[in-house]
Structure 1
Amino acid sequence: MTPREPRRLAVDGELTIITAAEQKERLLGALQTSSGLRIDLAGVEEIDTAGLQILLLARREADRLNVPLELGPARGDVAAVLALAGLAAEEE
C-alpha cells in the first residue's frame, strides 16, 4: 500500500444493531490509524438504522480528522438505504 492509497476495510454480513458496537470500534480504530479509508460494503447483506448510524458516525469522524473516507460498492437494499441517506456507495 502506498501512502496515496486508502486503507481498505471490508464489512460483511450484517451491519445491524447486533454488530453495531463491534463495527463502530473497528471503523473508528481504522480511521485513527490511516491516512485514508475505503469501507468495502459489497459483502453487507443487511443494514438497519444502527448500521446506518455507524456509517454516518464514520463519515463525521473522518471529516473531523481530515481523513478521506470512501464507501465501496453496496448491493440491493443496502445500496438503496445508503442512497436515501446521502451515502451512496461508489461503483467499482
Structure 2
Amino acid sequence: MTAAATGAALRRFVFDDELTIVTAAEHRDRLLAFLRDGSGVRVDLSGITDLDTAGLQVLLLARDEGVRRHLPVEFVEPSPAVADVLALTRLEL
C-alpha cells in the first residue's frame, strides 16, 4: 500500500494486495491515520486482489469515519475482487 499527495483536499491511498482478515487491522490503522490529519482521502481499490468481510468492514469504517469527521472519502477503481463483493452484498461505497 502506498500513499501520495493528489491535491490540497484529497490524498490518494492505494491498496496493492489483499484486504482480508490477515491484513485488515494494518490497513484499517493506516487508512484511519489519513483521516486523522484532517484531509479527505481518495481510496484506490484497483490493487485489491482479495476482499473478505473483514476487509469490507475496513472500507465501511473509513466511509463512516469520513462522515463523522465531515471529510470526503472517495472510493475509486474497484478491482474485480471488490466489484464481486459489492455486487454480492448489494453495497455501494
Contact map agreement 1:39 1:72 (CA 8 A) in 2: yes
Cα gap change, 1:77 to 1:67, in 2 (>3 Å): same
Alignment correspondent of 1:90: none
- The sequence identity of aligned pairs, in percent, is 49
Kindly state the Cα deviation for residue 34 of structure 1 after the two structures are TM-superposed: 4.0
* Among 73, 84, 92, the residue aligned to 1:86: 92
TM-score, normalised relative to structure 2: 0.84
Kindly state the Cα deviation for residue 32 of structure 1 after the two structures are TM-superposed: 0.9
RMSD after superposition: 1.4
**Distance in 1 between the 2:13 and 2:23 partners?**
15
Alignment correspondent of 2:74: 70
In structure 1, runs of 5+ residues without a counterpart are: 88-92
Alignment correspondent of 1:37: 41
TM-score, normalised relative to structure 1: 0.85
Alignment correspondent of 1:3: 8
Structure number with higher strand proportion: 1
